[in-house]
A and B are shown apart, each in its own frame.
Chain A
Amino acid sequence: MPEPAIHVADLRKTFSVPVREGGVVAALRSLVRRQHHEVQAVSGVSFDIEPGEVVGFLGPNGAGKTTTLKMLSGLLYPTSGEVRVLGHVPSKREAAYLRQITMVMGNRNQLQWDLPALDSYELLRAIYRLHPDDFRKIRDEFIELLDLGDLVRKPVRNLSLGERMKVETAAALLHRPQVLFLDEPTIGLDVTMQKRIRSFVAEYNHRYGATVLLTSHYMADVQALCKRVIVIHHGRLLFDGELATLAADFGADKTIAVTLKEGAPEQVDFAPYGEVLGSDDGKVSIRVGRGRAPDVAARLLHDLPVADLTIEDPPIEDVIESVFLGASADASERTPEPAATR
Chain B
Amino acid sequence: MTAAPPRLVSPVRGLFDVYVQEAKIAIAQQIQYRAANYMYMLGMVAEPVIYLVVWQTVAAQQGGSVAGITAGQFAAYYIVWTLVRNINIVFTPYGWEERIREGQLSAQLLRPLFPIVEDLGFFLGWKPVVVLLWLPIAFFLALVFHPVLNPSPLAVAVFAVSLLGAYLIRSLNQSSLGLITFWTTRVGPVFQLYIAAELLLSGRLVPMQLMPDWVQTIANLLPFQWTFGFPIEALVGNLSTEQLLGGLLAQLFWIAVGSILVRVVWRFAVRRYSAVAG
Contact = CB atoms under 8 A, between A and B. Distances in A.
Q: Give chain B's interface residue range (CB within 8 Å of chain A).
A: 35 or more
Contacts of B118: 127
Given A76-B274, A108-B106, A209-B1, A115 B28 contact: yes
Contacts of B2: 52, 208-209
Given A112-B29, A129-B14, A75 B6 contact: no
B7 A126 contact: no
16 contacts: A70-B106, A74-B110, A75-B277, A96-B112, A98-B110, A103-B110, A114-B33, A119-B28, A122-B24, A123-B25, A127-B118, A129-B8, A131-B8, A135-B6, A176-B6, A209-B1
A134 interface: yes
Interface in B1-39: 1-3, 5-11, 13-14, 17-18, 20-22, 24-25, 28-29, 32-33
B18 A127 contact: yes
A146 interface: no
Interface string B251-267: 00000000000000000
Nearest to B29: A114
Given A76-B274, A93-B109, A95-B112, A131 B18 contact: no
Contacts of B249: none
Nearest to A110: B107
A308 to B, nearest CB: 43
Contact of B109 (A74, A95, A99, A175): A74
Interface of B: 1-3, 5-11, 13-14, 17-18, 20-22, 24-25, 28-29, 32-33, 103-104, 106-107, 109-113, 118, 270-271, 273-275, 277
Nearest to B111: A127
Chief secondary structure at chain B's binding surface: helix
B184 to A, nearest CB: 12
Interface in A45-100: 52, 70, 73-77, 93, 95-96, 98-100
Contacts of B271: 77
Given A75-B110, A130-B6, 14 more contacts: A15-B275, A70-B274, A74-B110, A75-B106, A76-B273, A99-B8, A119-B24, A123-B25, A127-B118, A131-B8, A134-B6, A138-B6, A175-B6, A207-B3
A16 interface: yes
A16 B29 contact: no
Interface residues of A, number: 48
Interface in A152-198: 175-176, 178
Interface in A104-145: 105, 108, 110, 112, 114-115, 119-120, 122-123, 125-135, 138
A278 to B, nearest CB: 41
B122 to A, nearest CB: 10
Interface of A: 13, 15-16, 52, 70, 73-77, 93, 95-96, 98-103, 105, 108, 110, 112, 114-115, 119-120, 122-123, 125-135, 138, 175-176, 178, 206-209
B113 A127 contact: yes
Given A75-B273, A208-B1, A126 B21 contact: yes
A100 B5 CA distance: 9
